[in-house]
Structure 1
Amino acid sequence: MAQLEAETTKSGIDAIDRKLLRALQEDGRMTVQALADKVGLSASPCLRRLRQLERDGVIAGYSANIDQKSVGLPVSVFISIKLEQQRARNLDVFGAAISRWPEVMECYLMTGQFDFLLRVVCADLESYELFLRERLTQLDGVAHIESSFSLGAVKFSRVLPI
């Protein structure tokens, strides 16, 4: 028991929780019994730990990883955005606007030359042009937009190195 306590991190996650999280990242659809077998617990304590990780927000949700090409969205565009002013209100307004757009898969507030980095998916060049013209360029306060088209993913992972 002392070893488990020593392995608990600042976040309260111990070695067994880490095993559980790694296993779920590999296969989020495994049964509680299969998960328990994989981490060396019986089903009841495994389920209790799982529910606690969910309550604590460590497990933020469950989803399926969909291949974007298979659903007609083969184009990924990385867009760097520079705002006219970097005041909190301007950052919030921009963030709220792009949060409503389903094409925006990810958005990060950045340091450096640009204020935001977005990853947008679309069907083709024409649909990206429509997104650019009818959405991005219509936002007040945008000073500069730079688009970079992905030629292909070298690595894409949602598995955290825990």
Structure 2
Amino acid sequence: MNNTPIGRMVNIVVMLEEFIRMMNNNPNDFEEGSRSQAMENILAAKGDNPAEEKSIFDESSKLTPLSNSFGPILSQRATDRMAAQEANLNPNSPWGRMVSKFSIEFLLRVHLRKCEFETVRKLITSGKVTDEVNLRLIRDSLLKMEKTSTWTRFSPPIWKK
């Protein structure tokens, strides 16, 4: 049931309800002041003294607030990225039809798992894959594949020598 659209929706609803319940049970954990205080307590427990250097509470610092530092930048929300991708895709092309059904990340993983490196190269050079996150996925996957591959995998078997 989890692979069906209704199953995915149920999963999202359950996760959102759990998140809302967690926020209602511990509202202080999600306030900026209590999170900053918890961070200073962690630093003090590790041996760093935040009072000697700059305080986390220092309002004059140019750092972003904690609530913004862990999430996406507003201009880089998933919905914004989807809209930008849809603007560049032809819905009648095979790639456009596949992207409308599956995420680009999933399609790239399939191509990489099948070792279709030429297809991935064409997707990059044609401009169909331009998002930084997807390019990093390709890079990291290729590096991981390179580390895990051994020359014995590609050499002829020992018994045929």
TM-score between both structures, scaled by the size of structure 1: 0.21
| More strand as a share of residues | 1
Q: Decide which structure has the larger Cα Rg and report it.
A: 2
User: Which one has the bigger helix percentage?
Assistant: 2
Return the structure number with greater relative CO, CA threshold 8 A, min gap 6.
Answer: 1
Q: Tell me the TM-score normalised to structure 2 length.
A: 0.21
